[in-house]
Amino acid sequence: MSRITFLDNATEGKNNWWRYLITIILTWGTPVVILTIIFLLLSKFNPIKILSILSQPIALIVLVGISDILSLIFLYIGVRYIHERKFISLINTDFKFSWRRILKGFGIWFGILILGLIITLLLTPINLNVTFNSQPFLTLLIISLIVFPIQASFEELFFRGYLMQGIGLRSKYPIIPLITTSIIFALLHFPNGGNTVTSVDIVIQALILGLTLGIITLGENRLETAMGVHIANNIFVALIVNTPNGGLGNIPSILTDNSPPNILSDIPIIALYALILLAIIFWGKKENIIRIFKSNTNKTY
């Protein structure tokens, strides 16, 4: 099978450029406006207390969750009523959601990260500090299990679903939407770093992860496995090993990595993990990856 039918799902609806513009503005802009109005109203009562609460890392995670829920709602509105498409067309081609694939992606990637952590602890344990504290960790655990599946799912639906399918309409080569969406996804992570070096490190790692998630999506013609991988990645970073300068701040993870970012070591490691992930998922199915680099034959749009 040489055709990537996942990209063809966009042909189901209406795809004028202005429909994409409106949907993107609604998805990303409306939550910012709504939350800003709410904060302005709340700040009239007790601005100092509001700022104090928002300065807490866990409160920021909750805020991210609320923002992504709003974004998900407006993405649905855009796809369903502006593009006049079925929302599940962002996810797969058979219109049957697969929880099994989400669990598969989650389990494989989480397992790779845990194995990598064990090797790291054996080789360089001095870089990791145990920061586990049962009470705050329980709070972080509950919030993370609610927020990060929503956050990661929304980002996959938007970048690897909506945006990749939309750009795919303009190119017969699947690698074009793959690279384009991965670059956009990576650049949006730049503010997560506490300094320039950390930001560059995070962007490159996000680029590798974005390319990997895109390859999985195009190779399987569906999004669920990539969603599972993304959820596992975010939960691991929040609960297992946190980096204070990595965007989440000083949250009560089990371990905290206080070592400075090292692009020369961080990038090869994440690239190796990504290759292992792809090898496991596409073992004996290399043709599914090869077709990503070929023309999407018999293109009808």
Per-residue pLDDT of the chain (301 residues; tens, 9 = 90+): 456 789 999 998 899 999 999 999 999 999 999 998 888 887 777 777 777 766 778 888 999 999 999 999 999 999 999 999 999 999 999 989 999 999 999 999 999 999 999 988 888 766 778 888 888 899 999 999 999 999 999 999 999 999 999 999 988 889 999 999 999 999 998 888 778 888 899 999 999 999 999 999 999 999 999 999 999 999 999 999 988 776 677 788 998 888 877 888 889 999 999 999 999 999 989 888 888 888 765 454 4
Is residue 215, in this structure, part of any structural domain at all? yes
Please give the model's pTM, rounded to 2 decimal places: 0.92
Is residue 298, in this structure, part of any structural domain at all? no
Nearest-CA neighbor of 236 among 124, 115, 88, 74?
115
What pLDDT shows up at residue 148?
96
pLDDT tens digits along 126-152? 677 888 888 889 999 999 999 999 999
pLDDT tens digits along 215-245? 999 999 999 999 999 999 999 999 999 887 7
Is residue 42, in this structure, part of any structural domain at all? yes
Is residue 299, in this structure, part of any structural domain at all? no
Q: How far separated are the first and last CA of the chain, in Å rounded?
A: 19
Q: What residues are paired with 129 via a beta bridge? A: 256
Is residue 33, in this structure, part of any structural domain at all? yes
3-state secondary structure of 129: strand
Q: How many CB atoms are located within 10 Å of the residue 44 CB? A: 8
Half-sphere exposure of 236 (CA within 13 A, CB side): 18
Is residue 158, in this structure, part of any structural domain at all? yes
What pLDDT shows up at residue 301?
42
The H or E element spanning position 242 is: strand 241-242
What pLDDT shows up at residue 3?
65
Given a contact cutoff of 8 angstroms between Cβ atoms, the answer to whether 95 and 177 are in contact is no
- Give the range of the structural domain holding residue 85, as residue numbers without chain letter: 5-293
What pLDDT shows up at residue 125?
65
- Give how many domains the chain has, as a whole number: 1
